[in-house]
Amino acid sequence: MIEKIKNLFPKENEIPKDYDVKPIIADEYLLNGKIVKFKGEFQDVYSPVMVLNKSGKYEQKYLGKYPLMTEEHSQKALNAAMNAYDKGKGVWPTMRVEERINCVLKFVEELKKKKEIVVKLIMWEIGKSFSDSEKEFDRTVEYILDTVEALKELDRNSSKFIISQGVYAQVKRSPLGVVLCMGPYNYPLNETYTTLIPALIMGNTVIFKPPKFGVLLHTVLVESFAKSFPPGVVNTIYGDGKTVVGPLMESGNIDVLAFIGSSKVADILKHKHPKPHRLRSVLGLDAKNAAIILEDADIDVAVKECVTGALSFNGQRCTALKILFVHKNFQNTFIEKFVREIENLKFGMPWEDGVKLTPMPELDRVEYLKSLIEDAVKKGAKIINEFGGESNGTFLYPAVVYPVKKNMRLWTEEQFGPVIPFTYFEDIKDPLDYVVNSNYGQQVSIFSKDPKRISALTDVLVNQVSRVNLNSQCQRGPDILPFTGRKDSAEGTLSVSDALRVFSIRSLFAFKGTEENKKTVTRILKERESKFISTDFIF
Ligand code: G3H
């Protein structure tokens, strides 16, 4: 095993041809509908995958570079987005819903043409397995198509007139303004688009900044955006957040902040806005989801779900199970099976068939995770799986740490990596207290077959978190379900249909039901004179 970890990384010539990519020099960006050549400094991009260099040392594979923009660049992007929105008078915010849908459908066609390169770049830039990178791409396409259907449904339902107390009203939804979209590195395509697409389709204009890792995959899509949307509707910025994002927020001209990342950064960004009451925020933030395994649980189901829940994409999911509470009566059997299941997980390079554990984007992540393990061990916990915590460069073999106690960093810190803190309980009060007092409130998993226990626990837990999962890991999907959280975990709700709501506001057209008014409105509808006042049925 140690040998396998030591020899994990390939030589350049051992990389299978079908998966290899040439370095991408991304020297163009999208501004006001035009693809502009960038002049300035660049940021080099390296993969989590390390390869042997000429001097016989392993180093992260070079993938290319992207523009390190300045404040001036981001100001230009903001101006373009503001002009395209034109205080709600622009072509895009006043366009018929059907026409906006057509632009988004055109974009999906363009996006599909780029599947091969985008999937490869997800894999190379963040180290996600090839099959999971493919799944991320397909899930994104499906999400966009579902969004289109959800908008049609929303439009159909709101096209009828409501009559009350002699007032006739058509209640619809209108855009909010300029949206700043920033997605996370663990789902660089999917989670960026789960805010970007609903924001666009509702008539907002967008500035979007890719995450720290997973930038190049967005640079190959600028042409697809340029071909699909009117000028200024989508604008991309790249570079250091402090330089390019800070000034945008300080300008007070961002109407919606759509951000998926840490609550610390979200707070910094929100505080920069001079008129916070004008800013809407749609945030997906930190989480420390717990699994509570009761004494009557089906151990095999619990083990399987907890291993996937804790280790899919090396635990780099906001929904990952980040602490496990196992009932004392069968903790030994559970732990034994859990450790065995981990030993069966294939680790290696992301292109390998069936690989489950892969390298992480930064060497610093490995150091950070090791410091969490060290802290727990110093305070009395043990690594209970063989080779747990062994590392090589950007790769860390999963460590199961037991028993984790209140005074250890792993008790509260969101590890976001392959370290699994375990603890046991006799009284259900202990895991409940943990969830109740946690700073986070995203999801929880309970494992049990007892209807009474499940009901009692769920009734309390639904007031602590926003999703209680029975006998399964925590997860965001299916995407039609609401995805949100309490406390430091989220602001606003995302799902295919909820996202359309968070990026828009209800607006209505109302009139007193006089004969004259009815005649006038009938004429507007017949002649299709308004884009808002309309009873069109979008097929
Ligand atoms: O990183 C957080 C993601 O939203 C999790 O999504 O549960 O589908 O992996 P997932």
pLDDT at 458: 98
Tell me the per-residue pLDDT of 433-445, one tens digit each, with 9 for 90 and over.
Answer: 999 999 999 999 9
332 Cβ contact partners less than 8 Å away, ≥ 6 residues apart: none
Q: Is 186 in the pocket of ligand 1 (CB under 6 A)?
A: yes
Which residue among 193, 318, 415, 484 has the greatest number of ligand 1 atoms within 8 angstroms of its CB, and so is best to mutate? 318
Atom of ligand 1 nearest to the CA of 187: 1
Q: Is residue 366's pLDDT more than 90?
A: yes
Q: What is residue 56's predicted lDDT score, i.e. its pLDDT?
A: 85
The CA dihedral of 42, 43, 46, 48, to the nearest 10 degrees, is -160
**Distances in whole angstroms, Cα of residue 389 to Cα of each of 2, 370, 398, 422:** 11, 7, 6, 15
Nearest to 99 by CA among 91, 110, 108: 91
For ligand 1, pick from 319, 472, 489 the residue to mutate: most ligand atoms within 8 Å of CB. 319
Question: Using a 6 Å cutoff on CB, does residue 317 contact ligand 1?
Answer: yes
Distance 317 CA to ligand 1 centre (A): 5
Residue 475 alpha carbon to ligand 1 centre in Å? 6
What pLDDT is stored for residue 69 in this prediction? Answer: 98
Please tell me what DSSP assigns to residue 388. T
**Ligand 1: does its nearest atom lie under 6 Å from the Cβ of 187?**
yes
User: Is the C-beta atom of 318 inside 6 A of ligand 1?
Assistant: yes
Q: Which long-range contacts (CB under 8 A, 24 or more apart) does 506-510 make?
A: 506/171, 506/172, 506/173, 506/174, 507/171, 507/172, 507/173, 507/174, 507/532, 508/169, 508/170, 508/171, 508/172, 509/169, 509/170, 509/172, 509/533, 510/167, 510/168, 510/169, 510/170
- For helices 115-126 and 130-157, what crossing angle results, to 10°? 120
Give the ranges where 344-428 is alpha helix by DSSP (H): 363-378, 409-412
Measuring from atom 7 of ligand 1, which residue has the nearest CA?
Answer: 475
CB 442 within 8 A of CB 465: yes
pLDDT value for 54: 82
- Percent of the chain beyond pLDDT 90? 98
**Could you tell me if 176 and 279 are in contact, meaning their C-beta atoms sit under 8 angstroms apart?**
no
For the chain, how far is it from start to end, CA to CA, in angstroms?
58
Q: What would the pLDDT profile of 395-426 be if each residue is shown by its tens digit? A: 999 999 999 999 999 999 999 999 999 999 99
The closest of 360, 309, 370, 341 to 8, measured between CA atoms, is 360
CB distance 109 to 212 below 8 Å: no
Type of residue at 331: Q
**Helix, strand or coil for residue 186?**
coil
Cα of 214 from ligand 1 centre, angstroms: 16
Residue-wise pLDDT tens digits, 142-193: 999 999 999 999 999 999 999 999 999 999 999 999 999 999 999 999 999 9
Q: What is the rounded distance in angstroms from the CA atom of residue 128 to the CA atom of residue 126? A: 6
- For the Cβ of 478 lying below 6 angstroms from any atom of ligand 1, the answer is no
Q: Are strands 391-392 and 395-396 parallel, antiparallel or unpaired?
A: antiparallel
pLDDT at 279: 98
User: How many CB atoms are located within 10 Å of the residue 333 CB?
Assistant: 12
- Over residues 500-525, the pLDDT tens digits come to 999 999 999 999 999 999 999 999 99
Query: What is the per-residue pLDDT across 50-69, written as a single tens digit (0 to 9) for each?
Result: 999 888 899 999 999 999 99
Distance CA 255, CA 94 (A): 17
The pLDDT tens digits of the residues spanning 93-103 come to 999 999 999 99
Integer CA distances (angstroms), 420 to 48, 359, 416, 472, in order? 21, 17, 10, 17
| Cα of 33 from ligand 1 centre, angstroms | 32
Which segments of 212-362 does DSSP mark as H helices, in order? 216-219, 222-228, 241-244, 246-250, 263-272, 299-311, 331-343
Residues 71-85: pLDDT tens digits?
999 999 999 999 999
In 312-405, where does DSSP find H-type helix?
Answer: 331-343, 363-378
Question: pLDDT tens across 27-50, in order?
Answer: 999 999 999 999 999 999 999 999
Nearest CA to 325 out of 345, 308, 302 is that of: 302
What's the pLDDT score for residue 256?
Answer: 98
H or E element at residue 91 = none
Average pLDDT, the chain: 97
Beta bridge partners of residue 280, listed in sequence order: 256
- What percent of the chain is predicted at pLDDT more than 70? 100
Task: Note if the pTM is more than 0.95.
Answer: yes
Alpha helices in 360-412 (DSSP H): 363-378, 409-412
Q: Is 195 in the pocket of ligand 1 (CB under 6 A)?
A: no
Answer whether 389's CB lies under 8 Å from 395's CB: no
For residue 441, the one-letter residue type is G
Cβ neighbours for 527, distance < 8 A, ≥ 6 positions apart: none
Query: What is the pLDDT confidence band of residue 446, given thresholds at 50, 70 and 90?
Result: very high
Rg for the chain, CA atoms, rounded: 25
The whole-number average pLDDT for the span 294-321 is 98
Give 306 Cα–ligand 1 centroid separation in angstroms: 15
